[in-house]
Structure 1
Amino acid sequence: MEKIMILSEIQEVVRECGQLMLRADHAHAGVENKGKYNDLVTRYDKAIQDILQKRLLDIAPDAHFLGEEENVHESIAKGRAFVVDPIDGTTNFVKDYKCSVISVAMTMDGEVTLGVIYNPYLDEMYTAQKGKGASCNGIPIHVSDHVLHEGIVLYGSASYYRELIDESFRLLRLCADEAMDIRRSGSAAWDLCTIAAGRAEMFFELRLQPWDFAAGSLLVTEAGGTVTCVDGSPIAIGKPCSILAKGTQVDDAFMRK
C-alpha cells in the first residue's frame, strides 16, 4: 500500500513539473554548457530538479537523492533513494524539439523498485512497480514480440563521450543490416519507454548515467523485456554503464561480433 501511495504522489509532482516544461520561455531558458559544448543545462532543468528534490523528500524524508544537475550525487547503495533526471533530452528541450521527458526512479539498497517517466508533450505517464508490471496512463504495456527483421532499433550515439562515437556507429551499422529501420530520439529515458510500450524492438547506447536509465530499465523489465549492458552483463544502477534493452524475440548476438 505504501508503494502505491508513493507512486501516486510521484506522478502528481512529475505531472506538475511537466506543465513547467510546456510553459517554458525558450528564448530565456538560461542555456549553459556543463564543460562540453553539447552537454547543456537550462534554468528549467535546475528548477524542476529543485522542485523534485523538495517534494520527493517530503514524500520519503529518509531517502537519499541522486539528480543529474548541481552535483546532487548522493550514494544510493544503502536504504531508499530517488534517482532523477529533471529533463532527459535537454538539447531537444533547448531546440523546442518536443521530445524530452522527466524521469524519476525510487531504489532500495541500489535496486529500482518504482519508476515514473512523463512525456508532457504527449501527456503519456509511464509507471512501473517491481513485480507489478508496467503501464502507460494506467493501461498495461508489454514489449514487442517481433524479431529484429520486423522491428526498429533505437540508439544513442554517446555524444558526450567522443571516444565512443566510432564504436557506436560501428554497432549501428550492424543494426542497420538486421532491422527494418533505425531511429534516434535524443532521450534515452524516452527510448526505454518506447521499448517498454512495444513500439520498437531494441535500444542501445554505450554509456549512460544512472539518471538516464534507472526508471526506464524497470519499465522495460516489468513490461516483459530484458535490459543488460551491451556485452550482456548485468547493468549497475549506481554508476555509468552501457545499456541494451530489447523485446522478447530479439537475438542480439550480432552486437558482440
Structure 2
Amino acid sequence: MNLSNQQLLDLASKITKKVGKKLAKKANGKVTTKFSDKHDIKLLEDEESENLIVKYLWKKSEIPILGEENHQETNFLNGKVWIVDPIDGTVNFSRGIPIASVSIALWENGQPLLGIVYDFNRDVLYSGIIGVGAFRNGKKIAVSQNQKKSDSILFTGKPVLSHLDDSVIKQWFGYFEEYRKVRMIGSASLSLCYVASGNGDVYTEDHIQIWDFAAGVTLVQAAGGKITFEKSDKNKFSYIVKATNGHIQF
C-alpha cells in the first residue's frame, strides 16, 4: 500500500478527530482509572482510544505502530512507524482540566515526517508535514520571530521519569529566570503546538517519552522552528527534547 504523505496525514487526521470527539464527551472528569501511582495515571479511555487508532491505522496503511499503551515489540528507528499518544495530558483529562489532546506522528528512520495533534476540548486540529508546512484547522501557522529569551515564553514540564533534588531545582529555576514567563500545562504535545503557532517560543523537557513529543516536534519543524532530541538514560523510549522558533538559542 503506497500512500503519499498527504494521504497518510489525511487518514491520521480522520481517526484523530474521531477518537478526540469521543473523548470530548467524557472531558468532565468522569473516567475509569485502571492504574494510579504518585506521579502517573492510566485510564480505560487511554486503552480504548489507542485500540481504535491502531486498528484504523493498520487497516489503512499497514505501517508499524508504536503506541503509549502497547510498545514493547516495535522497532521505531527503522523505516516508517506511526507513533501514537491516545491521550496526552491524561491527568488533566482525568480531573476535567481542558488541556489534553490526541496525537499521532509518522516518523521514518528515527526522524519526524508528519504529525497531527487534536485539541479535542477546543475542536482545534494541528497538522503538518516536514517541508510542506504546519496548519491549525487548515490555516497555515508559523513560529514566532522573538529574538530574546527575555521576551519569550518557555514551555516545559516534569516527566514521570525525572527526579528533582535541590541542585536540579536550583539549576532549573535559574534557567527559568532568563525567560519572560514559564508555562507548565501538563501536555507536551499542546505545548509544542503553541511553539509551532507562535504563541510560545521555546519548549524543553528531559526524560520525556517519545509518544509525548513525536507529533509536537514535527509540527514545530514544519512551522519553521528548530528541534533537537537525543536519547536519555531512563529507557529506550525516553529523550531530552528542545524546540525553538529558531531565533532563541539554548
TM-score over 0.5 for the pair: yes
Determine what percentage of the aligned residue pairs are the same residue: 26
Deviation string 1:67-97 (CA, Å, 9 cap, x unpaired) is 0014455112222211000000000000110
Per-residue Cα deviation, 1:12-65 (whole angstroms, up to 9, x for no partner): 11111111111117565221326x33211111111110000000111211x111
Distance 2:169 2:241 in 1: 15
Counterpart of 2:154 in structure 1 is 153
Q: How far, CA to CA, are the matches of 1:197 and 1:235 in structure 2?
A: 26
Tell me how far apart the structure 2 counterparts of residues 21 and 166 of structure 1 sit (CA, whole Å).
Answer: 38
Confirm or deny that 1:114 pairs with 2:114: yes
Residues 10, 67 of structure 1: alpha-carbon distance in 2 compared, 3 angstrom cutoff: same
2:243 maps to amino acid: A
**103-112 vs 68-77, greater mean Cα deviation:** 68-77
Q: What's the offset of the Cα at 1:213?
A: 1.0
TM-score (normalised: structure 1): 0.87
d(CA) in 1 for partners of 2:186, 2:151: 23
- Counterpart CA distance in 2 for 1:56 and 1:165 is 42
User: What is the identity, as a one-letter code, of the residue corresponding to 1:95?
Assistant: R
- Deviation of 1:212 (Å): 0.8
Distance 1:239 1:246 in 2: 22
Residue 139 and residue 181 in structure 1: after superposition, are their counterparts in 2 closer, same or farther (change >3 A)?
same
Per-residue CA distance 1:158-185 (angstroms, 9 max, x = gap)? 2x13524656633431233211111110
Task: For 1:40, give the aligned amino acid.
Answer: I
Please tell me whether the aligned partners of residues 115 and 215 of structure 1 are also in contact (alpha carbons under 8 angstroms).
yes
**More deviation, 93-102/215-224:** 215-224
After TM superposition, the score normalised by the length of structure 2 is: 0.90
- Conserved 8 A contact 1:195-1:202: yes
* Superposition map of 1:174-189 within 5 A: 174-189=174-189
Match status 1:54 vs 2:52: no
Is this contact kept in 1: 2:35–2:42, CA < 8 A? yes
Is the 2:27–2:121 Cα contact (8 Å) retained in structure 1? no
Letter in 2 for 1:179: Y
**Runs (4+) off by over 4 Å:** 25-28, 164-168
Q: Distance in 1 between matches of 2:27 and 2:218?
A: 33
Question: What's the CA shift for 1:201?
Answer: 1.2
Q: Within 5 A, what are the aligned runs for 1:76-155?
A: 76-146=76-146, 147-155=148-156
Letter in 1 for 2:14: E
Retained in 2: the 8 A contact 1:189–1:212? yes
In 2 relative to 1, CA 136–25 (structure 1 residues): closer, same or farther, beyond 3 Å? closer
Distance, in Å, in 1 between the alignment partners of 2:84 and 2:122 is 20
Amino acid at match of 1:90: T
**Deviations 1:182-208 (CA, angstroms, capped at 9, x unpaired):** 111001111111111111111111111
Q: Distance in 1 between matches of 2:103 and 2:167?
A: 27
Q: Residues 167 and 46 of structure 1: is their aligned pair in 2 closer, same or farther, counting only changes over 3 Å?
A: farther
- Check whether the contact 1:164–1:206 (CA below 8 A) recurs between aligned residues: no
In 2, Cα distance between equivalents of 1:243 and 1:166:
22
Does structure 2 conserve the Cα–Cα contact (< 8 Å) formed by 1:153 and 1:175?
A: no
Query: What amino acid is the match of 2:17?
Result: R
Q: Tell me: CA distance 1:24–1:194, structure 2 relative to 1, closer, same or farther (3 Å).
A: same
Q: Does the CA-based 8 Å contact 1:101-1:117 persist in structure 2?
A: yes
CA contact (8 A) 2:224 2:245 kept: yes
- Structure 1 residue 249: Cα displacement: 2.1
- CA 27–163 in structure 1, closer or farther in 2 if over 3 Å, else same: closer
Counterpart contact for 1:131–1:222, Cα < 8 Å: yes
Q: 1:25 to 1:103 in 2, by over 3 A?
A: closer
SS at match of 2:177: helix
RMSD in angstroms over aligned alpha carbons?
2.1
In 1, Cα distance between the equivalents of 2:199 and 2:217? 16
CA positional deviation for 1:246 = 1.1
Unaligned runs of 5+ in 2: none
